């Protein structure tokens, strides 16, 4: 059985994991630099890169030791690493480290698309996934609806034309004076508010599968300026309902158009959102398909999901060349 060491450094999490080819996770270590970014209200790329540089060594060592391996000569068969999309300075640290380990241990290495990694996350927890399925991949950097014919065989149905869903959460939270990252804060507050308290528009109601969140963010700013006395919880609840409504409408449309679908999945940081999880469960029940909701640890960035995607890419395309560079804007549609 092959053992893969995976490294993920695309944004603010320095992560390493050891996973075997049956997708059993032997270890998964995540060191976040979020505390450094919080005072700035968002990830500061240079700080993220510097944090990866000081953390990557200890994180990889811990992943190897936690997996019961000798960190000086681990029985690793392949090294997988996120090579895009993400922050260039962050990606370069992980990629350089992965190449160095692979060269030192004389094993192949494989570059992985971060978004494809998110798509593999449900597989690590639910080996019995059924295909074809549709996945709503929503994070701080991306929002897309992906049709998956099988593991690693995907088709992007639609994506955001402006802000990502998580980005909208973070921007609205900042406007409301809530700490970064805003998603969990708004989600928590929303539970105490009334969803219809603030009238907000539902964007992108057409028949396509694209999203838009920038107008909604502006609408929240306008509405709160006009109604300064509306309770924070009501604003949070109304915003959360509008985001979920737009995403779930598109998911419903995908289920209607692709009647052979066997399941729906959520992936990415915003997959932790309670309204979205509840809505996806409801839709799955209504259409009689399975729902795959990753655990909170599998929603956010981690290296185990990169390992799973890396094992697939290595088995189907072989190793990457050691000249491989980082691709900060690598679209999922160009992965093959
Ligand atoms: O996937 P992720 O960890 O990092 C990226 O690749 O972007 O996603 C982070 C994003 C942030 O924008 C954060 O505010 C959002 O996920 N998020 C949430 C929730 N938890 C995290 N958004 C809404 N509701 C949540 N419960
Ligand atoms: Zn991510």
pLDDT tens per residue across span 270-327: 999 999 999 999 999 999 999 999 999 999 999 999 999 999 999 999 999 999 999 9
Whole-angstrom distance, CA of residue 35 vs CA of residue 52: 13
pLDDT band, very low/low/confident/very high, at 204 (cuts 50, 70, 90): confident
Q: Can you read off the two tokens belonging to residue 113?
A: 């698309």
25 falls within a domain: yes
Which residue's CA is the closest to the ligand 1 atom numbered 14? 183
Atom of ligand 1 nearest to the CA of 170: 14
Identify the domain containing residue 97 by its residue range.
3-118+301-334
Question: In this structure, are 148 and 288 located in the same domain?
Answer: yes
The residues whose Cβ lies within 5 A of ligand 2, an ion, are 139, 301
Are residues 79 and 105 part of one domain? yes
> Are 246 and 184 contained in the same domain?
yes
pLDDT tens figures, 123-143:
999 877 889 999 999 999 999
| 139, 166 Cβ separation under 8 angstroms | yes
Question: What CATH number has the domain bearing residue 219?
Answer: 3.30.420.40
Residue 129 is predicted with a pLDDT of: 84
Query: Does residue 86's CB lie within 6 angstroms of at least one atom of ligand 1?
Result: no
156 and 206 together in one domain: yes
Say if 125 falls within a structural domain. Answer: no
Cα–Cα distance for residue pair 76/171, rounded to 1 Å: 41
Residues 75 and 171 placed together within one structural domain of the fold: no
The verdict on residue 64 lying in a domain is yes
Contact call for residues 332 and 155 (beta carbons, < 8 A): no
Say how many domains are in the chain: 2
Q: Which residues contact 264 (CB under 8 A, 6 or more apart)?
A: 133, 134, 135, 136, 251, 255, 280, 283, 284, 287, 289, 290, 291, 292
**Rounded distance, CA 105 to CA 223, Å?**
58
Residues 108 and 140 in one domain: no
Among left, alpha and beta (phi > 0; psi -120 to 50; other), residue 4 is: beta
Question: Would you state the structure tokens that stand for residue 310, as one six-digit string?
Answer: 């890396």
81 and 160 within one domain: no
Is residue 313 located within the same domain as residue 264?
no
Domain assignment of residue 27, yes or no? yes
286/327 same-domain check: no
Grade residue 184 by pLDDT with cuts at 50, 70 and 90. Answer: very high
The answer, yes or no, to whether any atom of ligand 1 lies below 6 A from the CB of 166, is: yes
Same domain, 95 and 149: no
Task: Give yes or no: residues 139 and 74 share one domain.
Answer: no
Structural domain contains residue 75 = yes
Q: What is the pTM of this model?
A: 0.95
Q: Is 181 in the pocket of ligand 1 (CB under 6 A)?
A: yes
If pLDDT is split at 50, 70 and 90, which confidence band does 109 have?
Answer: very high
Q: Is 170 in the pocket of ligand 1 (CB under 6 A)?
A: yes
Say what percent of the chain tops pLDDT 70: 100
Query: Do 232 and 140 fall within a single domain?
Result: yes
Residue 320: how many CA atoms within 13 Å on its side-chain side?
Answer: 26
Among the bound ligands, the one closest to the CA of 82: 2
């Amino acid at each position: 059985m092959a053992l893969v060491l995976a490294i993920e450094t695309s944004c603010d999490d320095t992560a390493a994991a050891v996973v075997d080819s049956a997708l059993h996770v032997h270890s998964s270590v995540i060191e976040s630099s979020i505390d450094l970014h919080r005072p700035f209200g968002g990830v500061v790329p240079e700080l993220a890169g510097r944090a990866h540089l000081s953390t990557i060594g200890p994180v990889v060592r811990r992943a190897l030791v936690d997996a019961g391996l000798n960190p000086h000569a681990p029985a690793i068969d392949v090294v997988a690493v996120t090579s895009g999309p993400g922050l260039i300075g962050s990606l370069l640290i992980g990629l350089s480290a992965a190449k160095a380990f692979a060269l030192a241990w004389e094993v192949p290495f494989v570059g992985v698309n971060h978004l494809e990694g998110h798509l593999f996350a449900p597989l690590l927890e639910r080996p019995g996934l059924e295909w074809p399925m549709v996945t709503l991949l929503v994070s701080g950097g991306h929002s897309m609806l992906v049709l998956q014919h099988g593991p690693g065989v995907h088709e992007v149905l639609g994506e955001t034309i402006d802000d990502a869903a998580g980005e909208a959460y973070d921007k609205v939270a900042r406007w409301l004076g809530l700490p970064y990252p805003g998603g969990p804060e708004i989600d928590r507050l929303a539970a105490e508010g009334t969803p219809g308290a603030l009238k907000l528009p539902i964007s992108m109601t057409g028949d396509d599968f694209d999203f838009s969140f920038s107008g909604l963010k502006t609408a929240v700013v306008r509405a709160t300026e006009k109604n300064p006395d509306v309770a924070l919880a009501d604003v949070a609840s109304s915003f959360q309902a509008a985001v979920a409504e737009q995403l779930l409408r598109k998911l419903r449309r995908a289920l209607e158009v692709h009647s052979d679908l066997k399941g729906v999945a959520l992936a990415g940081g915003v997959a932790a959102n309670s309204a979205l999880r509840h809505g996806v469960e409801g839709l799955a029940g209504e259409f009689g398909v399975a729902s795959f909701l990753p655990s909170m640890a599998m929603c956010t960035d981690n290296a185990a999901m990169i390992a799973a995607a890396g094992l697939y890419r290595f088995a189907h395309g072989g190793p990457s060349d050691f000249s491989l560079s980082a691709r900060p804007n690598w679209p999922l549609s160009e992965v093959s």
